[in-house]
Amino acid sequence: MQTHLDTRVRVAAEIDRLMARVNQLETVVAALGTDTTVGGIDPDLLEEALHAQERLAMAVESAGLAWWDHDFTTGRVVRSDNWARMLGYSPGDIDDHAAAWKELIHPDDRSAVEEAARRHESGEIPVFEVEHRLRTRDGSWRWILNWGRIVARGADGRPLRALGAQLDITRRKTAEMEKAELIGKLEKALAEIRTLRGIIPICASCKKIRDSSGAWNQLEQYIREHSEAEFSHGICPDCAAKLYPQLAGK
């Protein structure tokens, strides 16, 4: 079974390979303008470079991801149509400036996203990778695995361009949270069972039980809170004879 890690590794390799072709194309276009007939240019290489970006988009979307292309100079971000559809929007609904994406990030996740971006842009880490929530069109939240890499830097080292992809991991995150909740309940139940099996401090006179906070509880209350047991109250023959002697023997 393919995991999101396998997908990310495969897409990363594809991005690196195809971006090499994209860069070749940009170099050729910068040197020749619109004239692609100048001698010395390998037509097969040029043809492959012309289709590199299209193949990149196809490779990413075929893996169930959405891709993005960030131009740091203008602050603009080109996104695949699937990027918007993943959040319930139509292509074109979201402004192409990077600030529009930041507005969709869950407030509790923004600091983690900004820190991951800062560390990658400074060269501290090789890739930008973070799990965070994005707001959908209906106001709900989807968990996203966001992955990217700077593919061009200026002479001063500042980032010029980054390519990346995002994957909807809401199902996995939901399953993880449900698992954590279940584990918590099981651990609590186990702790309660251990309490009942251990030494229980009980008053020799009134039979109240002291809990871990030091409070004294009625026997029924303590057992009810620390087990699945319930009580149905009655009266035994000895107590009936003591409390209601007039009824004894009847």
What digits encode the pLDDT tens for the residues 159-201? 999 988 888 989 888 888 888 888 888 888 776 665 566 678 8
What tokens were used for 237?
A: 């023959």
- Alpha-helical runs (H) found in the chain: 4-32, 43-50, 52-62, 81-85, 98-104, 110-121, 170-197, 219-225, 237-243
Range 68-170 has CATH code 3.90.1150.10 = no
What pLDDT does 233 receive? 77
Nearest to 24 by CA among 59, 53, 62: 53
What tokens were used for 181?
A: 């909740």
Interhelix angle 4-32/43-50, rounded to 10 degrees, is 130
DSSP element (H, E) containing 141: strand 141-153
Q: Over the stretch 110-153, which tens digit does the pLDDT of each residue have?
A: 999 999 999 999 999 999 999 999 999 999 999 999 988 898 89
What whole-number distance in Å separates Cα of residue 38 and Cα of residue 55?
25
What whole-number distance in Å separates Cα of residue 11 and Cα of residue 16?
9
Task: Give the model's confidence band at 207: pLDDT under 50 very low, under 70 low, under 90 confident, else very high.
Answer: confident
Task: Give the model's confidence band at 31: pLDDT under 50 very low, under 70 low, under 90 confident, else very high.
Answer: low
Buried b (16+ CB within 10 A) or exposed e, 137-158: eeeebbbbbbbbbbbbeeeeee
Vertex 97 angle, CA 96 and 98, to 5°:
120
What pLDDT does 76 receive? 93
Q: Exposed, middle or buried, 243 (CB in 10 Å: 0-12/13-18/19+)?
A: exposed
- Give me the residue spans of the domains in the chain: 1-63, 68-170, 175-247
